[in-house]
A = this chain, B = another copy of it.
């Protein structure tokens, strides 16, 4: 089933309107969930790799245009060859001299790299006829590390160290593989969108508990701070003393404001407070991380690349690394960040810009290969009807995907010949 080469590359700007209130947060009242989709078609016409980045609106077309430009060097490449040494390709694409100035390694062009990279990984797993998590587990440590661009991490993690980290954990893989049967626990973000009224949050939390969830997230960061506090207390009440709750401020507070609100919200005993202030303000995150203990800081959906993650880890500015393979430079840089997090003994709890489709594979790999705690994976169901193989949860746990690839295929694009 060897795939010859990448014969054709298409880009699609796919947008979905959500039900009222869904996806709303402190920044976005009525977001569109938009996917900038890359499809890579194999030379035999039988297989197509699908990858995407998430954006929230019209800007999606900028990412699509960037994919057009950035993906060109992949045309004609044999996929096996490409993936035997993907770290080099990732670096070459990221350093395209015509586009590098626009970042580097952040913003529109980096989102384009995410989409392209994710398509490569999907095509690769499909070409091997196995799910992405399995493709990754099948690699020897050296092969896995060859997928990664570790440049600018040399002071902490070079290739030898990365190989050694993976090798050291090999003996524990068999035991940890139990997660494949158990399923990876989910947590429910969709009980607590910003514009949902209190009654709806209560109802959805109750329903989520009935469906087996025990962890729930609430959007905060509204202009009405009393509302935030009231709803936070309400969620604690609904979840019960033993339920896990998290609050997400979506960057809305200034540092002084975050100090005040985190202190008050801490009384509701959340596991974490997420994105308390501007995502670039690492020192503010580090200060808050010290000040609000034992409550933790989660962030990462707007940390653009491995170099910034390295700085956050070294500064103890984050406890839960919410890496996202649709924000970082795709699966490759996601894995790099996870190795780095593992070095700092910090858990990766992905932000799911992909609605969990790709990340359900990645967290299985991280748990089995690195011992990343099987904490939980965010669950957001709004786009599930659009995926060919939507993530399936049972009793609050992701069912281990069995289909070949990264579970990224979209029904709308099937007719374009993707299989």
Chain A contacts to B: CB under 8 angstroms:
27-29, 31, 54-59, 61-63, 65-66, 69, 95, 97-111, 151-152, 154-155, 251, 254-257, 277-284, 302, 304-305, 307-308, 310-311, 314-315
Is the pair B56, A97 in contact by a Cβ cutoff of 8 Å? yes
State how many angstroms separate the Cβ of A223 from the closest Cβ of chain B.
14
In Å, the complex CA distance between A77 and B66 comes to 31
Is the pair A279, B104 in contact by a Cβ cutoff of 8 Å? yes
Closest residue to A151 on the B side, CB-wise?
B254
Is the pair B307, A281 in contact by a Cβ cutoff of 8 Å? yes
| Given contacts A57-B97, A95-B27, A281-B311, A109 and B109 within 8 Å (CB-CB) | no
Is the pair A308, B283 in contact by a Cβ cutoff of 8 Å? no
Is the pair B308, A280 in contact by a Cβ cutoff of 8 Å? yes
In Å, the complex CA distance between A314 and B286 comes to 13
Most chain B Cβ neighbours within 10 Å, of A56, A59, A281, A308:
A59
Contacting residue for A102 out of B63, B104, B280, CB 8 A: B63
Is the pair B98, A59 in contact by a Cβ cutoff of 8 Å? yes
Closest residue to A69 on the B side, CB-wise?
B58
Residues of B within 8 A of A278 (CB): 104-105, 152, 307
Can you list 25 A-B contacts with CB-CB less than 8 angstroms, sorted by A residue number?
A27-B97, A55-B101, A55-B102, A56-B97, A56-B101, A57-B99, A58-B99, A59-B69, A59-B101, A62-B108, A104-B251, A104-B278, A104-B279, A106-B107, A106-B280, A106-B304, A107-B107, A107-B108, A107-B109, A152-B277, A152-B281, A154-B254, A154-B257, A281-B311, A283-B311
Is the pair A254, B59 in contact by a Cβ cutoff of 8 Å? no
State how many angstroms separate the Cβ of A255 from the closest Cβ of chain B.
4
Closest residue to A30 on the B side, CB-wise?
B97
State how many angstroms separate the Cβ of A398 from the closest Cβ of chain B.
25
Closest residue to A251 on the B side, CB-wise?
B104
Closest residue to A65 on the B side, CB-wise?
B62
Closest residue to A153 on the B side, CB-wise?
B254
Contacting residue for A314 out of B29, B31, B152, B283, CB 8 A: B283
Is the pair B311, A155 in contact by a Cβ cutoff of 8 Å? no
Residues of B within 8 A of A106 (CB): 103, 106-107, 280, 304
In Å, the complex CA distance between A108 and B64 comes to 13
In Å, the complex CA distance between A57 and B59 comes to 21
